[in-house]
Chains A and B, each alone.
Chain A
Amino acid sequence: NAGVTQTPKFRVLKTGQSMTLLCAQDMNHEYMYWYRQDPGMGLRLIHYSVGEGTTAKGEVPDGYNVSRLKKQNFLLGLESAAPSQTSVYFCAIKISRGYGYTFGSGTRLTVV
Chain B
Amino acid sequence: AQSVTQLDSQVPVFEEAPVELRCNYSSSVSVYLFWYVQYPNQGLQLLLKYLSGSTLVKGINGFEAEFNKSQTSFHLRKPSVHISDTAEYFCAVSEGPGNAGGTSYGKLTFGQGTILTVHP
Contacts and interface: CB of A to CB of B under 8 A. Distances in A.
A76 to B, nearest CB: 16
Contact of B107 (A1, A33, A100, A104): A33
A43 interface: yes
Interface stretch (B41-49, B63-71, B73-81): B41-49
Given A104-B43, A106-B43, A50 B90 contact: no
B105 A103 contact: no
Interface residues of A, number: 24
A33 B108 contact: yes
A45 B93 CA distance: 13
Interface in B63-120: 90, 92, 105-113
Interface of A: 1, 31, 33, 35, 40-45, 48, 50, 56, 58, 90, 92, 94, 99-101, 103-106
